Structure 1
Amino acid sequence: MKRKWTLVVLASTILAAGCSNTAEEPKAAPANTGELKGEIVLWHSFTQGARNDSIKQAADAFMKKNPGVTIKIETFAWSEFYTKWTTGLQAGQVPDVSTALPNHVVEMMDAQAIIPLDDVIDTIGRKRFYDAPLKEGSVNGKNYSIPLYSHAQVMWYRKDLLQKANVQVPKTWAELADAAKKVNNQPDLYGLSVPMGTGDMMATRFLNFYVRSAGETLITKDGSANLTSKAAIDGIKYWIDLYKAVSPKGSVNFKVLDQSTLFYQGKTAFDFNSGFHIGGVETNSPALLDQIEAAPIPKINANDPDQGIETSNIPLVVWKNSKHPEIAKAFVESLYEKESYIKFLHSVPAGMLPAMKDIAEDPAFLDNPTIKKFSNAVKVVSQAVDKGTAIGMEYKPTLQSGIITSQSVIEKMFQNIVLKDEPVEEAAKKAEKELNTLFKAAK
């Protein structure tokens, strides 16, 4: 049976050489050379709110500065985008420029569907960017994506609930389990929700937290799945135990929105997410805004070395089929102009952190009420951003990283353990074998 990722393999002549990218790249004009004329299409997944407005304003400003240019904007939810670009690639209907997820970029590079952006990066200033986000979109020494913003997974908690239960902020997984159990004694309040819903990657994410904290990875250096090492088995058992002890039973089917909503509504004491949690609480339960705080992901032992856990670097790409790559590149470059870039980041303050080191320290970026109020949380997330990678990309960009987060193999494993009483070791071995079969088919 063909899997989702094989859609790009079926796309016409541009799908020739896989990750080798040995075909000659089009010699597109660099950004900002001469008068720009033509129409480009922008796809992005900022479907609503202030950041959607910010992108529209940036496009309007670019068109005003370049009256010969028209930018047509189409928006798609992240859940729709994968299908949109893979089917569009087969039909030759892709945009000129788009947002993407790191896993998408790996497949786009594999399909030779996008062009290098080294000239844009160098014009903006390569040394201004953090290294890890650039590496996630690179192959054979060329950068095929440019990071727009970053965020990272950290532990969020309710200060008032911890104080009431007389527990300290957990630094280890054992301390988290103990704290979650102590606050799990009130009606309609859970110490922690453990999500396992298929069609999402939340159980994979939670297991990755534990495995990464042990210094291991879910995808090994040789590209194999790791679900049966001691750290992985311990992690599976840890989350199963917490699910039984403190989680709503319905979380066996929770996806990301179900999970987040519980914390937004004040129904969980602990959760894991990025700085986007601030806006969620502000919208749903503004009275709780003074009671939330962030801390690093727990460790197995408090004195264990810090490990990079999970960072999401959201990039932009320019498509090879573009008739006007010079306009697409010039528009991308314009998004990083200081005033416009900071305005975009402030559309989700503390949620979207700069992909550039100098902007992260710029007084104009830091001078925002939410960023000031949550300065400690922003610091915690920023430190996590600098260390982590996308799940499965700890060693290099791989197709396996997209498979492990999109095929719900780990989520089904957890459900089989919880709902069918399947032994942990047996379920883990079976899931590991299934992932390795999928990995092999994708090569």
Structure 2
Amino acid sequence: MSETSITRRSLVGGAATIAAASTLPAPSVRAQAQRRITFWHSYSQKERSDAMRQIADRFEKANPGVKVDIEIVPWPAFPQKWPAAMAAGTLPDVTILLAENAVPMALAGALNPMDDVVKALGGPEAFKGDIARTTGFFRGQYVSIPHYVHNRLLVYRKDRLAEAGLQPPVTWDDALKVATATTKAPDHYGWIPKLAKGDTGGGFLLWMMARSANGSFFDKDGKVSFDSAPVKDATAFIVELARKAGGPGVTDYKINDNFSLVNSGKTSLAEDSAAIVAGAAKDAPAVAEQLDATFMPRRERVGNLLGGISVALPKGKNPADGKEFAKFLFAEENYTPFLLTIPLFMFPSLKRAEGPAFFDNPTIKRFRNVVDVTLKGLEDTSLAGMESGLNPYAGPVMNSYAVEDMFQRILLRNEPIDQAVGATAKQLEKIVGDVRMRFDRG
């Protein structure tokens, strides 16, 4: 299901769920019977899944009479699962979700506010930069809070830059120069953008580059601003990059191909999070020794792209205990150890977690510059298309693959950039219009 599939029936179902949740037993009765918390998360890796179970076990021990039932919901399944659960009255009490998925849930009336949790954790200022607001504040209340975050970086091969006598790129021009100089076809290429159909790599890259030119896909009021000079300039940059340093088949690569492209040495530069370095450290240690990272190239500023994984409180059957469990996820004894289950994959959203327990980890120490660039970027970052705050249109636009289709037309059919950007802007306006109509009908 997309973010647009919200109907009057689902809203009514949500209201029924709220009514059921509000009829909680009296405290004395609740103390006698076992109280159950339903917790959804998408951490399918054994390390992270085990950590969540251990946190739940500690919560149960600290709260006799409470049982935490965990269900692992794969990331792709979540947008379909929560509406079905809402209709059936089986929403969880706590969930982990992509930050942008909280918007349609809030619009459907499926979430309890998290303002009390934010306050208990020290208020929005306890979180890094402005990420509490930009990832979770919607229509006057907090609908989610960031569990962990990361920032998109430009990862590069130190050995290849040294061989070319070049420094890590700062500007767009620098990046094109480095990418061209570190292309040695057919062995490897300078920078292979991920522009495949049915993937969001092209949209994310274009948003970062447009943002670095002080542009965006939306204006501050949420209206489409795609047909603009910054977007056209960013499109031209990516097209030139693809043609000069992307190699053959550049329109076929997806975001998940970055691991194999980096680990095999096929690309000298790659846009990704610090996780790409962690993957190389595990699977291609000789390559990992040559990896470092810097900020994405800028025109006027750095277009930092936030990756946000959040906690929310759906309207399940046990909101009181659910709220306490959400707080417990961020307790000192739980939070940093969880972040370090897979070092470099997850970075603290809470400022207090940036301490010795985090920085003394051997992998964090080994790639400290990559860590520092990530943390610095998180001070001024946002979700794609949501730099002015959460809006219900960015998700459908990014997931429409309209930007990826645009790059296909430009690179494979030689469609002029001005024409392609203008046509895509019209597509995005239609998507936004459709979303608005469906919300209004709901």
Query: Is 1:350 the counterpart of 2:344 in the alignment?
Result: yes
Counterpart in 2 of 1:392?
A: 385
Counterpart in 2 of 1:234?
A: 233
> What TM-score does the superposition give when structure 2 sets the normalisation length?
0.90
Query: Residue 8 of structure 1 contacts residue 89 of structure 1 at CA under 8 Å; is this kept in 2?
Result: no
Identity of aligned residues (%): 31
Query: Is 1:335 the counterpart of 2:337 in the alignment?
Result: no
Deviations 1:284-334 (A, max 9, x none): 21112221111011112xxx4x445211221101111x1111121111111
Query: Residue 148 of structure 2 contacts residue 348 of structure 2 at CA under 8 Å; is this kept in 1?
Result: yes
Counterpart in 2 of 1:425?
A: 418
Tell me how far apart the structure 2 counterparts of residues 181 and 62 of structure 1 sit (CA, whole Å): 54
Shift of 1:202: 0.6
Tell me how far apart the structure 1 counterparts of residues 169 and 44 of structure 2 sit (CA, whole Å): 36
Tell me how far apart the structure 1 counterparts of residues 310 and 109 of structure 2 sit (CA, whole Å): 17
Tell me how far apart the structure 2 counterparts of residues 50 and 358 of structure 1 sit (CA, whole Å): 23
Amino acid in structure 1 at the alignment position of 2:6:
V
Q: CA RMSD in A?
A: 2.5
Query: Is 1:319 the counterpart of 2:314 in the alignment?
Result: yes
Amino acid in structure 1 at the alignment position of 2:291:
I
Query: Is 1:414 the counterpart of 2:412 in the alignment?
Result: no
Are the structure 2 counterparts of residues 24 and 433 from structure 1 closer, same or farther at C-alpha, using a change threshold of 3 Å? farther
Query: Residue 207 of structure 2 contacts residue 385 of structure 2 at CA under 8 Å; is this kept in 1?
Result: no
1:80-99 maps to which residues of 2 (within 5 A)?
A: 80-99=77-96
Query: Residue 189 of structure 1 contacts residue 268 of structure 1 at CA under 8 Å; is this kept in 2?
Result: yes
1:100 is paired with a residue of what secondary structure? strand
Q: Which of these residues, 419, 435, 439, is aligned with residue 442 of structure 1? A: 435
Counterpart in 2 of 1:7?
A: 5
Amino acid in structure 2 at the alignment position of 1:352:
M
- Long gaps (5+) in structure 2: 437-442
Shift of 1:198: 2.5
Q: How many pairs align?
A: 428
Shift of 1:418: 1.7
Amino acid in structure 2 at the alignment position of 1:353:
F
Shift of 1:80: 2.1
Tell me how far apart the structure 2 counterparts of residues 287 and 307 of structure 1 sit (CA, whole Å): 30
Query: Residue 11 of structure 1 contacts residue 89 of structure 1 at CA under 8 Å; is this kept in 2?
Result: no
Tell me how far apart the structure 1 counterparts of residues 12 and 50 of structure 2 sit (CA, whole Å): 34
Query: Is 1:100 the counterpart of 2:100 in the alignment?
Result: no
Counterpart in 2 of 1:129?
A: 127
Query: Is 1:163 the counterpart of 2:162 in the alignment?
Result: yes
Shift of 1:73: 1.6
Counterpart in 2 of 1:20?
A: none
Tell me how far apart the structure 1 counterparts of residues 19 and 392 of structure 2 sit (CA, whole Å): 22
Are the structure 2 counterparts of residues 412 and 186 from structure 1 closer, same or farther at C-alpha, using a change threshold of 3 Å? closer
2:233 is paired with a residue of what secondary structure? helix
Tell me how far apart the structure 1 counterparts of residues 169 and 243 of structure 2 sit (CA, whole Å): 20
2:105 is paired with a residue of what secondary structure? helix
Q: Which segment is superposed worse, 248-257 or 40-49?
A: 248-257
Shift of 1:49: 3.4
Query: Residue 216 of structure 2 contacts residue 385 of structure 2 at CA under 8 Å; is this kept in 1?
Result: yes
Tell me how far apart the structure 2 counterparts of residues 202 and 435 of structure 1 sit (CA, whole Å): 17
Shift of 1:65: 2.6
> What TM-score does the superposition give when structure 1 sets the normalisation length?
0.90
Q: Which segment is superposed worse, 235-244 or 406-415?
A: 235-244
Query: Residue 25 of structure 1 contacts residue 115 of structure 1 at CA under 8 Å; is this kept in 2?
Result: no
Counterpart in 2 of 1:293?
A: 292
Amino acid in structure 1 at the alignment position of 2:204:
R
2:215 is paired with a residue of what secondary structure? coil
Amino acid in structure 2 at the alignment position of 1:218:
F
Are the structure 2 counterparts of residues 380 and 94 from structure 1 closer, same or farther at C-alpha, using a change threshold of 3 Å? same
Tell me how far apart the structure 1 counterparts of residues 382 and 151 of structure 2 sit (CA, whole Å): 9
Q: Which segment is superposed worse, 426-435 or 120-129?
A: 120-129
1:226 is paired with a residue of what secondary structure? coil
1:5 is paired with a residue of what secondary structure? coil
Tell me how far apart the structure 1 counterparts of residues 12 and 183 of structure 2 sit (CA, whole Å): 55
Amino acid in structure 1 at the alignment position of 2:324:
A
Shift of 1:16: 8.8
Tell me how far apart the structure 1 counterparts of residues 81 and 408 of structure 2 sit (CA, whole Å): 29
Q: Which segment is superposed worse, 5-14 or 196-205?
A: 5-14
2:271 is paired with a residue of what secondary structure? strand
Tell me how far apart the structure 2 counterparts of residues 273 and 26 of structure 1 sit (CA, whole Å): 41
Query: Residue 10 of structure 1 contacts residue 90 of structure 1 at CA under 8 Å; is this kept in 2?
Result: no
- Long gaps (5+) in structure 1: 18-22
Are the structure 2 counterparts of residues 40 and 11 from structure 1 closer, same or farther at C-alpha, using a change threshold of 3 Å? farther
Counterpart in 2 of 1:284?
A: 283
